[in-house]
Each structure stands twice: as C-alpha cells, then as structure tokens.
Amino acid sequence: MPVAVLPVDEPSRLEALRGLEILDTDPEGAYDDIVKLAASLCETPIALISLVDERRQWFKAAHGLESRETPRAFAFCAHAILTPIEPLIVRNAEQDSRFADNPLVTGDPNIRFYAGIPLVTKTDRQPIGTLCVISDESRELSEGQLKALTVLANHAEKLLHLREATKELLKQQSALRDRDHELARLGRLALAGELVAEVSHEMGQPLYAISALGGTLEVMNQQRAWEFGRTSVLLSKLQEACGNAGKILTRLRQFVRKVSPESETCDMNEIIASTIEFLDFQCRRNQVEIQLSLASSPLSIYANSTHIQQVIVNLLINAFEAMDEFGASDRMVTVTSRLEGDSVVVEVSDSGPGLSVSDEVAFTAFKTTKVDGLGMGLSICSRILESHSGNISVSSHPGQGATFRFELPKAG
C-alpha cells in the first residue's frame, strides 16, 4: 500500500496545526453541524472534518463514524493535503492503486468513494486537514453537490481561521499585559529613584540607633557592668530599631519588585493607608499635612494592589512637589474615598498653584511642567487605571490647587 509522501514544508505545516491547539479538543456544535449537512447534501453515510498530524488523522467532527482517529498511513486525507488548491475525489477505491489494499478499503468502513476538500490556515496557508465525505459504494458527486461541499469546507476553514485569530489576539493581549506590567515597574523604579535620598535619610535614624545601642552594650561588656534591667531595655530598643529598618526596606522592596501580584479583591481604604505609611517620611520632610476622609466601610475592588498603590504614590508625590514653594502652614493634601453607584472613587487634592496645562496634556507621556521631570507619572497612572477598567481626571483652579480623581469598578 503506497503511503502518501510528506508535504513540501511538513515541519511548518505541523507547527501551524499545533499552533491552533485544536487536536484532541472536545466536540463543538459548529463543526458537528457542518459534517451533518455535508453528509446530507452529498448523500453519503460518512462525513468528517479530519486534521492530519505526524502520525494520524484526527477527527474534529465525525458523522457516521465512531472512531476519532486512524493512522496517517491509511488516511485518504494525507493524500488530499498534497494538493491544497483542489479537491481529491476517489470514485472507486478498489480500482485506485493508491488505495486498493488500504485496510480502510479492505475492511471497515469499506471505503469505496471519497471526496475531500483541503482546509488551510489563514496566516501561513498551510494545509492541515480536510472536510471529506465517504461512502461504501462507488459513485460520483454532482456539480451542485461538489459546490455545496466546497462551500461547507469554506465555512469549516473560517471557523479554523477564527480560532487562529483568537489565539493570536490572546497572544497579543498577553504581550500587552506584560508590557504594561513592565512599564508600571519602570514607573515604580523612577519613583523609587526620587525616594532614595529620603529613604536613605530615614534609614539613618534606626541605623544610628543600632550603632549607638551596640556601642553601649560593648562598653558594658568591657566594663563587666551588666545590669539585667538596663540590658533588657537596651536589647528591646535594639530589636525595635532593627525592626524599623526592616520595615523601611520591606516597603521599598515590595514597591519596586519586578513581579507584581495578580489582581485580587482588596480594600481601597487599606491600599490608601499603606501608601501613606510608605510615604510617611517624605510627607514629614516636605512638611505636608495629610487629611483623610475615607469611607466608613470597606471599598472592595478587584485589582493589582501594587499598581493601584503606584497610582496613589504618583498623585501624592505630585501634590507634595506642587506645594514646595508654599509655607509649611499652607501645605495641605486631602485624600477622600467613597462609593458612587458601582464605582469606587478616590480624590487627591492639594493646596498648590494648580495645573498650568490642560487635562489632556496632563496625562500625555513626556509632557511635564517640571524642569527635570520625564512626564511619565500621570501617563502611567492613566494606563494602569485603564487596564483596570477605570479612569482618571483632574480639576484645577489657579492659585487654589488641583484635585485628581480616579474611579475603579466596585468588586462584586
């Protein structure tokens, strides 16, 4: 029994077939309807959508045949894919040298007649299988039947193309998510760079305390002047100083880490509180008073909490910097949160000079009023919120400050 030769570019053909991730999937009504209609129109007991891999032909849809696959060596479809631009029609398999001693001809299902229309992928135009009809009696298709079979094959092909397009879309969406995550991470690193001096200064206090307490303990050791009560107090203070230093480093590490946690249900009020704690030292350095007016009950959102924290950090730092030229008594930032319908709303207001650019420009990348700024902060905020099905806006009054407002869908 002659075995069908391999297509000219068999590795690429197999790669295209595997890329669809359709082999060994569950039956689908759209494909099943096509083979039922093909069998009815062509008046054959069997109709198949057959996909040919390296060792078998596997049936995505089968009418009149219980088997889900047969060896490729026996497959009529393995011959059909060699001529992808025209159908393969075998009127009498017993009289065809290619198939006369084929086990599918000499045994069940006793194939005599076969007509197969090749199915090709959209992107690479690779023949991956056929829509075929089979009978145990020698016969021919009428012109109308062949045309109908071709139309149905086109529909089967379009279903495969749709699957192909869907896979590519999901791949692109994944790439976009990865890019957005990386952009957000770079934004956090940029903010971290601005915070390095402040964090270093803040670290100085616990490190100085650790050094001083360690020196005191060393002197007590050299003088053999151990006093249980005093030693206990010193060790307690040393432990507290180490803990404070650890907390500072932990907050910074969590903020700039490369792999952000996946989205989960979280409380916006908790995110706001942890963010303000993270910026506590910078707030004190800038002599800014923060007033909180948070909703009395939890505000649940489904989000990547690290990314939302980044949004709030950007807005707070912008507010701090906007009031640099104001007296300490006039530096006020108000953070509010509330539920409006199905949206969780957060507003960050400052008492600075207000914005000198339009709303549209404010959220455009590389547009900034800062002498040494990159103009990425608000753009990143906008992208993060859009990826969470949210939005951000700003209202500003010259000399009276600016209010940034963002919304996110309420979870549940």
DSSP secondary structure code for residue 67 in this structure: -
Strands (E), 85-155: 88-90, 113-120, 127-135
For the chain, give percent helix, strand, coil, nearest 5: 50, 20, 30
Dihedral angle computed from the Cα positions of residues 13, 19, 24 and 30, in that order, rounded to the nearest 10 degrees = -100
Q: What is the mean pLDDT of each run of 10 residues along the chain (412 residues)?
A: 87 93 93 95 96 96 95 96 94 95 95 97 92 96 94 93 81 70 62 53 54 64 64 65 62 53 87 84 80 94 86 86 76 94 95 66 46 52 86 83 93 84
pLDDT at 374: 34
How crowded is the C-beta side of 361, counted as CA atoms within 13 Å? 7
- Other CB atoms within a 10 A radius of the CB of residue 183 amount to 16
Distance, CA of 18 to CA of 31 (rounded, Å): 18
* Closest by CA position to 7, among listed 110, 78, 76, 98: 78
**Domain segments of the chain as ranges:** 10-172, 261-412
Quickly tell me which residue has 């906008």 as its tokens: 382
Give SS3 for 350.
strand
How far from chain centre, in Å, is Cα 207?
41
Burial level of 91, CB count in 10 A (0-12/13-18/19+)?
middle
Is 105:79 a contact under the CB 8 Å cutoff?
Answer: no
Report the chain's C-alpha Rg in angstroms: 35
* Closest by CA position to 382, among listed 363, 403, 360: 363
Give the ranges where 223-297 is alpha helix by DSSP (H). Answer: 228-256, 268-278, 280-285
Distance, CA of 257 to CA of 63 (rounded, Å): 55
Burial level of 64, CB count in 10 A (0-12/13-18/19+)?
middle
For residue 276, give every residue at least 6 positions away whose Cβ sits within 8 Å of its Cβ, in sequence order, or none.
283, 290, 292, 316, 335
- The pTM score is 0.47
Concatenated DSSP letters of 320-341: HHHTTTS-GGG-EEEEEEEEET
Distance, CA of 2 to CA of 74 (rounded, Å): 9
Fold of 261-412: Heat Shock Protein 90 (3.30.565)
Dihedral angle computed from the Cα positions of residues 159, 165, 166 and 169, in that order, rounded to the nearest 10 degrees = -170
Distance, CA of 324 to CA of 330 (rounded, Å): 10
pLDDT at 184: 64
The CATH number corresponding to 10-172 among 3.30.450.40, 3.30.1440.10, 1.10.287.130, 1.20.1580.10 equals: 3.30.450.40
- Residue 333's alpha-carbon distances to 179, 237, 320, 340, in angstroms, are 32, 33, 8, 22
pLDDT at 121: 92
Distance between first and last Cα of the chain = 63
Give the ranges where 90-227 is alpha helix by DSSP (H). Answer: 103-106, 143-222
Give the ranges where 305-396 is alpha helix by DSSP (H). Answer: 305-322, 359-362, 377-387
Distance, CA of 268 to CA of 177 (rounded, Å): 22
pLDDT at 38: 95
DSSP secondary structure code for residue 6 in this structure: P
Query: What's the one-letter identity of residue 387?
Result: S
Fold match flag (10-172 vs 261-412)? no
